[in-house]
């Protein structure tokens, strides 16, 4: 064979592999979702009852063997660990790999798992199925497989950056969350993992969503690092009308914090994965901070946006001494920020706060909901990104709320007004960083319906190098305390807007 012919053969082979890898596309998932939406919903098959009823320790005894990780032998920076169905994960998913040879399915294999309980190991069905997957990346250096992204359960996923530890979750979609009618939980039923080059800095995953009201196709392009970013394409097809559609939902936990009473018997100062909701409205330019609470009753709030730039659940408190928990390490929990791709139109960022008696329940949900109704037979397309990282993940440029303290307004240090609250809000950063103690910083405060703002003023807190807004406000009997406030300097807005809603029955003051 002549040399020219050899090179033609080599070039042909080199071009064949990329073409084969490109044989599967996001559009293929879109068409599957579109077709599925035209037929009646069929719930996924579930695992045997004994596997669903395993104790926590029994399920944890089924451990994936890291030596069985996908692409480990090839020295890939990205590797995939598999999660067994069982306990919480009762609906197995289908997994496929997309590479130079096309699309291959991943059948369940018991040999991928080590089971410390021999009796349980014998009973695990050979066709049990996988519940999801964990992605790893060498944050800590070559040869180290650090878990940074997990897909498992309904449409949930959890992500971390290099310096954070697992905490809050994202979801593909939320349907009727917080409504009396009850929430619907669509599932990611099928995943396609596009094999990256060994030295790649990103990886792509496709997912098929299915539920009683909606089907969907998702593309996740993942970039792990100091901030882990996921670029998301979502194409949704509605079988049925949806009363409250939640896009790019985030789910977290808030048990108690600096702005709530400490439950009886709790020794830790605070317990939460996130301490606030941050919203950026690009149309108005406003940044809004809403401290989270653990209410006595279900609480849902709607924050209108003309053109949402982003929203997120943030863990601003990152000091160990504010949690004192060596096991949970709440100060290392990640923040998550959703950035809208393009103009999503008018809508609301919805916050759902669910009562909880302990820290084991994710009781906080935040999502964006469109201002237009979602009817059966319609299609929606949304692009966005989700970033997991530290408290500055939103790149918020202005002054920020550092602390919110709330107490009775009729005692020493609080005031002499029965039925009132004393609220202290600390601000720092942005333009405030350049100011001295004598700067003309002014508070702007307003109360919601039935709330009388009795006084408000600003003080410089020299020991902490911050500015404190002090508010005395009294709600009418039976009404929630609803307040908004921010700081200005020479009539220019210097901080984000602090927005607070505290229902009755909190135990912070005597109810009238």
Mean pLDDT over residues 403-431, rounded?
94
Residue 6 has pLDDT above 90, yes or no: no
Residue 13 has pLDDT above 70, yes or no: no
- Phi, psi of 442, rounded to the nearest 5 degrees: -125, 140
Q: What is the pLDDT of residue 71?
A: 96
Residues of the chain with pLDDT > 90, as a percent, come to 89
Mean pLDDT over residues 277-300, rounded?
96
The burial of 28, by beta-carbon neighbours within 10 Å (0-12 exposed, 13-18 middle, 19 or more buried), is given as: middle
Mean pLDDT over residues 350-378, rounded?
95
Instruction: Give residue-wise pLDDT tens across range 21-60.
Output: 457 999 999 999 999 999 999 999 999 999 999 999 999 9
CA angle 7, 9, 13 (to 5 degrees): 115
Q: What is the pLDDT of residue 36?
A: 97
Contacts of 403 (CB under 8 A, 6+ apart): 258, 424, 425, 426
Q: 277: helix, coil or strand?
A: strand
For the ranges 89-93, 274-278, 301-305, 413-417, the lowest mean pLDDT is seen at: 413-417
Q: What is the pLDDT of residue 109?
A: 96
Q: What is the pLDDT of residue 413?
A: 86
Residue 453 has pLDDT above 70, yes or no: yes
Q: What is the pLDDT of residue 12?
A: 40
How far CA 26 is from CA of 36, 72, 218, 222, 503, in Å, comes to: 16, 26, 8, 15, 45
Mean pLDDT over residues 351-373, rounded?
95
Domains and CATH numbers, the chain: 28-389 (2.70.98.10), 400-502 (2.60.40.10)
Q: DSSP code of 476?
A: P
Contacts of 55 (CB under 8 A, 6+ apart): none
Structure tokens at 383: 């692009």
Measured distance CA(423)–CA(472) in Å, rounded: 6
The burial of 193, by beta-carbon neighbours within 10 Å (0-12 exposed, 13-18 middle, 19 or more buried), is given as: buried
* Ramachandran category for residue 277: left, alpha or beta (phi over 0 → left; psi -120 to 50 → alpha): beta
Strand spans (E) along 297-428: 299-305, 308-314, 335-341, 347-353, 364-370, 379-389, 400-408, 421-428
Residue 4 has pLDDT above 60, yes or no: no
pLDDT band at 372 (very low <50, low <70, confident <90, very high): confident
Q: What is the pLDDT of residue 103?
A: 96
Task: Provide the Cα torsion 395, 272, 334, 380; round to 10°.
Answer: -80
Compare 413 and 509 and report the one with higher pLDDT: 413
Residue 16 has pLDDT above 70, yes or no: no
Instruction: Give residue-wise pLDDT tens across range 463-503.
Output: 999 999 999 999 999 999 999 999 999 999 999 999 999 99
- Phi, psi of 224, rounded to the nearest 5 degrees: -75, 150
Residue 5 has pLDDT above 50, yes or no: no
Q: What is the pLDDT of residue 271?
A: 98
Q: What is the pLDDT of residue 504?
A: 85
Measured distance CA(202)–CA(228) in Å, rounded: 10
Instruction: Give residue-wise pLDDT tens across range 289-335.
Output: 999 999 999 999 999 999 999 999 999 999 999 999 999 999 999 99
Q: What is the pLDDT of residue 510?
A: 62
Residue 506 has pLDDT above 90, yes or no: no
Q: What is the pLDDT of residue 507?
A: 72
Q: 210: helix, coil or strand?
A: strand
> Which pTM was predicted?
0.93
Q: 11: helix, coil or strand?
A: helix
Residue 197 has pLDDT above 90, yes or no: yes
Mean pLDDT over residues 421-447, rounded?
95
Q: Write down the mean pLDDT value for the chain.
A: 93
């Amino acid at each position: 064979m002549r040399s020219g012919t050899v090179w033609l053969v080599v070039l042909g082979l080199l071009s064949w592999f990329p073409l084969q890898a490109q044989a599967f596309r996001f559009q293929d998932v879109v068409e599957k979702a579109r077709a599925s939406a035209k037929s009646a919903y069929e719930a996924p098959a579930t695992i045997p009852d004994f596997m669903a009823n395993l104790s926590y320790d029994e399920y944890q005894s089924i451990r994936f063997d890291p030596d069985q990780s996908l692409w480990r032998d090839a020295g890939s920076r990205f590797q995939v660990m598999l999660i067994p169905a069982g306990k919480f994960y009762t609906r197995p998913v289908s997994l496929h790999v997309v590479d130079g040879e096309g699309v291959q399915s991943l059948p369940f294999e018991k040999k991928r798992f080590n089971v410390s309980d021999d009796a349980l190991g014998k009973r695990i069905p050979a066709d049990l199925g996988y519940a999801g997957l964990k992605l790893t990346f060498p944050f800590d250096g070559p040869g180290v497989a650090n878990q940074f992204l997990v897909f498992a359960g309904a449409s949930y996923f959890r992500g971390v950056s290099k310096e954070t530890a697992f905490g809050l979750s994202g979801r593909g979609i939320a349907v009727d969350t917080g409504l009396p009618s009850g929430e619907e939980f669509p599932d990611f039923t099928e995943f396609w993992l596009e094999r990256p080059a060994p030295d790649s800095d990103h990886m792509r995953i496709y997912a098929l969503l299915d539920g009683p009201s909606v089907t969907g196709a998702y593309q996740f392009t993942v970039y792990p690092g100091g901030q882990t970013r996921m670029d998301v394409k979502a194409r949704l097809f509605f079988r049925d009308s949806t009363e409250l559609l939640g896009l790019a939902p985030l789910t977290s936990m808030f048990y108690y914090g600096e702005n709530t009473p400490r439950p009886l018997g709790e020794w830790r100062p605070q317990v939460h994965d996130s301490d606030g909701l941050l919203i950026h409205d690009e149309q108005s330019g406003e940044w809004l901070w809403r401290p989270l609470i653990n209410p006595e009753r279900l609480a849902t709030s709607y924050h209108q946006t003309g053109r949402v730039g982003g929203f997120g659940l943030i863990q601003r408190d990152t000091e160990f001494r504010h949690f004192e928990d060596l096991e949970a390490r709440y100060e290392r929990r990640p923040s998550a920020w959703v950035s809208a791709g393009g103009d999503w139109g008018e809508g609301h960022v919805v916050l759902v706060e669910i009562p909880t008696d302990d820290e084991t329940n994710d009781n906080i949900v935040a999502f964006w909901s469109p201002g237009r109704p979602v009817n059966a037979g319609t299609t929606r397309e949304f692009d966005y990104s989700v970033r997991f990282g530290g408290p500055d993940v939103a790149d918020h440029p202005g002054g920020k709320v550092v602390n919110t303290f709330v107490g009775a307004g009729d005692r020493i240090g609080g005031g002499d007004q029965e039925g009132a609250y004393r609220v202290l809000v600390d601000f720092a950063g942005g333009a405030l960083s350049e100011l001295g103690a004598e700067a003309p910083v002014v508070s702007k405060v307003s109360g919601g319906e039935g709330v009388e703002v009795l006084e408000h003023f600003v003080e410089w807190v020299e020991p902490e190098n911050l500015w404190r807004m002090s508010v005395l406000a009294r709600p009418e009997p039976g009404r929630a305390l609803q307040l908004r406030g921010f700081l200005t300097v020479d009539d220019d807005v210097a901080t984000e807007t602090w927005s607070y809603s505290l229902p009755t029955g909190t135990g912070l003051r005597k109810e009238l």
